[in-house]
Structures are given as C-alpha cells and as structure tokens.
Amino acid sequence: MEETSQKKSSDSLLVGLLLLAIVVSFFGTYLSVMKLRGIPLTGLVTTGTTQLNVTRTVSIVLSVSTVDFGNKVVTNADDTTDNSPPPFTVVNNGNVNVNVTVNASPLFTGTTSNATDYRFRCSNSESVCNGAGINTFTAFNQTTTSLVMVNLSFPDTNDSENLEISIVVPDDETPGAKTSTVTFTASSFNNAQ
C-alpha cells in the first residue's frame, strides 16, 4: 500500500509540475505579446512610385500603298473616287495628330503632259478631311510638297484618310509601263502635343 501512496504522490507531483509549466508558458506568452503590442506583427510597410514618360511618336503607314490603273489608252481618264482602283489610304499609327504632305515623281513622259494629267486630293476614310487640306484635285509638284491632310487624328477609330488620284493619259504618251513614286511625309500637327 505504501507503494500505491508513493505512486499517487509521484503522479500528483508530475501533474503539479505539468500545470506549473503550462501556467509559466501561458504567462510568458502573455507578457511577450503585451510587449509586442506596439510593434506591428505584419512586417514593415513602405511605399514606392512608378514613373514613365510616353514619348511623342509621329508615324504614318499606307494601308493601301499601290494605285494600279491597269491598261489605258491615250486620252483615257480615270480616278480612284469610285474605289476602282482604291485610293492610297494614310493611317496615323503614332500617338499625336499629324499633318501630311505629299509630292510625286512624274507619271507621264509625253511632251503635252500638263497639270491636269496627274492630280491628287484628300477624301474621307475614317476621318473627315480638314478644310485646310487639299479637297479638290490638284496637280502633283515634283519639287515641292503640298500639305494635303491637316490634323489627322491618332485614335484608331478616326486615324485614316484617303489620297485620291486622278489621271488623264496624254495624247502623245509612249506605250509601256508608267510608274510614279508618291512620297508622304508626316509632321506633328502641334509641336506642343
């Protein structure tokens, strides 16, 4: 029986020590949490900034870059206003509004070639040709450029205009393929943009 009483006493001592360990552990945790109360537990928070500068881009492309009138005979006249053939289509793919100038090398070599044989004008595509551009057929100039499109917008829903072409084959034009290089040049509509 003495053994049982020692065993009980030993068990009681272990239970007591276990309870004491739990109380000390709880009390230590409580004190630690109380000390950390003023310190955020989620980590240090700081802020930063993102910066960039979008640069001005003046850029145009031709979505229709060839006007092919096919076979013609002398004194034949044709133009692109009926979309047969389709006109040049200038697209502003930059990020500022632009002015577009144009000039071209000669198309015909006949001696009677004149200002009405090879002409151009602006016409509506997605954008309306501004009144300051060229809206009536005008002769190409080989040595100087002509301002044909003014303030061509850059948003995709309103960023293109057509350059219509009109030809009349001179009565003394020699047979053969005829080619003219048409040069389009864009500049920013407003340098403050």
The burial of 123, by beta-carbon neighbours within 10 Å (0-12 exposed, 13-18 middle, 19 or more buried), is given as middle
Condensed to tens digits (0 to 9), the pLDDT of residues 27-75 reads 777 777 666 666 655 667 788 999 999 999 999 999 999 999 999 999 9
131 φψ region: left (φ > 0), alpha (ψ -120 to 50), beta (else)? alpha
Residue 55 lies in a domain: no
d(CA 26, CA 32): 10
Q: Are 180 and 117 in contact (CB under 8 A)?
A: no
Per-residue pLDDT tens digits for 7-16: 666 777 777 7
Question: Do 33 and 81 fall within a single domain?
Answer: no
Confidence of residue 4 (pLDDT cuts 50, 70, 90): low
Q: How confident is the model at residue 182 (pLDDT cuts 50, 70, 90)?
A: very high
Q: Are both 64 and 155 inside the same structural domain?
A: yes
With H, G, I as helix, E, B as strand and everything else as coil, classify residue 143: coil
Structural domain range at position 10: 1-46
Region 130-140: mean pLDDT is 81
Query: What residues does 186 pair with on adjacent strands?
Result: 100
One domain for residues 93 and 2: no
State the chain's mean pLDDT as an integer.
85
Residue 158 lies in a domain: yes
Same domain, 181 and 116: yes
- Closest-CA residue to 103 (of 159, 60, 141): 141
Number of domains present in the structure of the chain: 2
Q: Is 27 helix (H, G, I), strand (E, B) or coil?
A: helix
Is residue 9 within a helix (H) or strand (E), and if so which, with residue range?
Answer: helix 2-36
